[in-house]
Structure 1
Amino acid sequence: MLKRMFQLYDYSIVVAVFLLSLFGLIMVYSSSMVVAVSRFEVDADFFFAKQRMSLILATVAFFVTMVLPYRLYFRLFKLIAFGSIILLGLVYVIGKTAGNAQSWISLGLYNLQPGEFVKISVIIYLAAIYSKKQTYINDFGTAVLPPLVFILIIFAQVFFQPDLGTAVLIAMIAVVITFSSGMNIMNIGKLLLLGGGALAAIIPLAINAGALSDEQLSRFGAAYNPFSDPLGDGHQLINSYIAIGSGGVTGVGLGNSNQKYGFLPESHTDFIMAVISEELGILGVGFVILLLSFIVIKGFLLARKCHDPFGSLLAIGIASMIGIQACVNLGALTGLLPITGVPLPFVSYGGSSLLALMASVGILVNISMFVNYQKDKLKNQGIAA
């Protein structure tokens, strides 16, 4: 039985995610060497060593969630939802401030960013609650409003850290899952109006309370007119353009980036794709986008094939999380979107992000096993899947 179970996994997803993560590890080393020595005065392989340890932990998490039946999360979704609220609350009590945001909890050798794991909690909660309420999904009072209250609590907790990037991701993931839940267009419209109204109220409050710094607000203007302040707010985006434009088709060679020599801030985190573009050109960028697209498309295809509403919504949530995060990151480094500090999935430096993403893809692979098992079962019974 165990042998049969392992035969049913979709190993193409496993190969794609590990190729991407190992490629990311190489690029973290290439993009962080100069930053480590010149800015942080540590060994050149400092960030590489930390990312390598994170990848080992993430690999363990991946295989644990790959083996655990995904239906387990359905039974635990209330506990997971409550735990995420508590975890975000702890950030305000014992959280560590970095980059003008109190978003981390220090665990000694490891800094945990709860917001990365809360994204998975939100996916599990919404997938569970909407799958439970399928028989009365269009009852606005009992099926639609309760999830909205939970999302608003989570959104506000993350937003006021302030971590605008993660808060926006959570909201967008929630929108995708809600659109896929089966509720009618009228209720979706009501939700969008309520969500938009809440956002319109929260943002002015955040600005007046100083929850959003002048630096964060300035990023919106810098995204669309960086050359108005090339030495200030537009500096990062302009140097991202230079890095992208220097790469051409094949790049200047692995390790040979000029922009990582102090010109491009955060070259190993949210702007790592600019370094990839410079060093490996369109071929390197295409490699990353191809693998990310493959994982996202596989997730949506699994959602379509899964006959269990919970599993289907879970796959949609995970696929949309990876896809949206990638789009927000790429949009920021090309000037299509404001810079929000969102990392590129599986590639950027960041232990919490890598751990959460690998665990979520492990869940996706487990869903693939269930889908293939159901397909084989129907085939054996002579029923077309």
Structure 2
Amino acid sequence: MPFCIIILVLLTIGLIMMFSASYPVAYYSLGNSYYYLVRQLIFAAIGVACMFGVSIFNYNKLHRIVPLIMGISYLALIIVLIVPSGEAGVHRWIPLGPFNIQPSEIAKFSTILFFAHWCSKHYDKMQLPKFSVLPGITVFGTTAMLLFLEPHYSGIVIIAMLTVLMLYIGGMKTRYLAIGGIILGAVVIVLAMTGGLTYAMSRMDGWGQSLEYTTEDMWQTTWQTRNSLYAIGSGGLWGLGLGQSRQKFLYLPEPQNDFIFAIVVEELGLVGAVLILLIFALLVWRGITLSLRSKDNFGKLLGIGLTSQIGLQVILNILVITDWLPNTGISLPFFSYGGSSLIMLLAQMGLVLSVSRTANIEKQ
């Protein structure tokens, strides 16, 4: 119950802040201040229904459908490359009537699910490369290749982190992870030297230079990150007040998406931002604690992986909006606008609740 309450508290705060951040741009660009709020409320209602529905589902039955879910993930990653590209020639979403599906969100879940299944099934053999290195390279490599073609580099980074986490807690030897990191680093260097990372390098332009007004081009390149820093700085200790942000009035582009936490800091200040981050930390801690109580390794690995995904995305999002990382498009869980992310996250939290429920029944 405490874990469920924490999720609903974060979701409620996220909906309030998403509306506060989005109504100016929704009014100016779409003529309807409530456009993003109404859609996000629909996504939230579907997500909460999925969360409670999944929470009474026996997570162990997922063992049987791992190949199916992996197949759906790969199919979606292939389909998105076929549909017409969006802005800047990237392929990120599959249009489905009035809504869009983002395959990378499915890929994150399928990666966690596969490694939870594999590591629990071969737990006593994970010290052997055949049962750890080979599946790790196969699953991550194929998924990363499809994301590379979109291109969606932030998705690759998150899935790489999730792969390392799942293999590590699944029993893989640390030296294999180190060797894999060296090989991956070498691949990145080769791609960068051969021009294969042109899009990624363009996103790194201006990184760490948001407040340095050197050229007109740099001024335009760092526009979003610079206004994010302005928002954070003007929030001060206590903030300007809920709804009182200035940067959301067409200064900070897409304030309802990846940079929403900058508006949160501007309106609620350092105190409000820290409290929200503490709630996120409490969610991750509680989720991992519940998962460790599971009666089987599959429940432990699945719950830890799903909960850790939230923690990773929160950390990376904060690093991006403060210019500690390049602007790579990482959403803030439960806050950023987007149906695929919100529904998938809530459904995944339902699985953690399922793990906890099963553990409690076994305990009784």
Compared with structure 1, are the counterparts of its residues 142 and 278 closer, same or farther at alpha carbon in structure 2 (3 Å cutoff)? closer
Q: Deviations over 1:58-110 (max 9, x none)?
A: 11211122111111212211221122111110111225524642110001111
**Aligned partner of 1:186 among 171, 175, 183:** 175
Query: Could you tell me how far apart the structure 2 residues matched to 1:322 and 1:97 are?
Result: 26
Secondary structure at 1:76 match in 2 = helix
Q: Could you say which residue in structure 1 is the equivalent of 2:260?
A: 272
For 2:18, give the aligned amino acid: V
Task: Quote the residue 1:41 is aligned against.
Answer: 30
TM-score by length of 1: 0.88
- Taking the TM superposition and a 5 Å limit, the aligned residue runs for 1:235-314 are 235-314=223-302
Which residue does 2:105 correspond to in 1?
Answer: 116
Alignment map for 1:1-385 (pairs within 5 Å):
11-38=1-28, 40-94=29-83, 96-98=85-87, 100-204=89-193, 207-208=195-196, 212-213=198-199, 216-229=200-213, 231-376=219-364
User: CA contact under 8 A between 1:129 and 1:147: conserved in structure 2?
Assistant: no
The gaps in structure 2 that reach 5 residues or longer are: none
1:297 partner SS = helix
Q: State the shift of 1:212 in Å.
A: 4.1
Determine the C-alpha separation between the residues in 1 that align with 2:302 and 2:150: 27
The percentage of counterpart residues that share the same residue type is 31
Alignment partner, residue 379 of structure 1: none
Q: Contact 2:73/2:110 (CA < 8 Å) preserved in 1?
A: yes
Query: What is the TM-score when the length of structure 2 is the normalising length?
Result: 0.93
Residues in 1 aligned to 2:122 and 2:292: alpha-carbon distance in whole angstroms: 19
Deviation at 1:182, TM superposition (A): 1.2
- Residue by residue, what CA displacement relative to the aligned partner does 1:194-247 show, whole Å, maximum 9, x if unpaired? 433444445556x44xx643xx52432422122334621222122111111111
Which whole-Å CA distance do the structure 1 matches of 2:193 and 2:162 have between them?
A: 23
Contact 1:51 1:349 in 2 (8 A): yes
Q: In the alignment, is the contact (CA less than 8 A) between 2:291 and 2:352 conserved in 1?
A: no
Instruction: Measure the CA separation in 2 of the matches of 1:261 and 1:375.
Output: 53
Contact 2:204–2:327 under 8 Å retained in 1:
yes
Alpha-carbon separation, structure 2, partners of 1:354 and 1:69? 22
Q: Offset of 1:287 from its aligned partner?
A: 2.9
Unaligned runs of 5+ in 1: 1-10, 377-385
For 2:193 and 2:341, the matched residues in 1 are separated by 29
Structure 1 residue 140: deviation in Å?
0.8
Q: Which moved more, 1:284-293 or 1:357-366?
A: 284-293
Q: How many residues align?
A: 360
Q: Report the CA distance between 1:178 and its aligned residue.
A: 1.2
Q: For residues 240 and 228 of structure 1, what CA distance do their matches in structure 2 show? A: 14
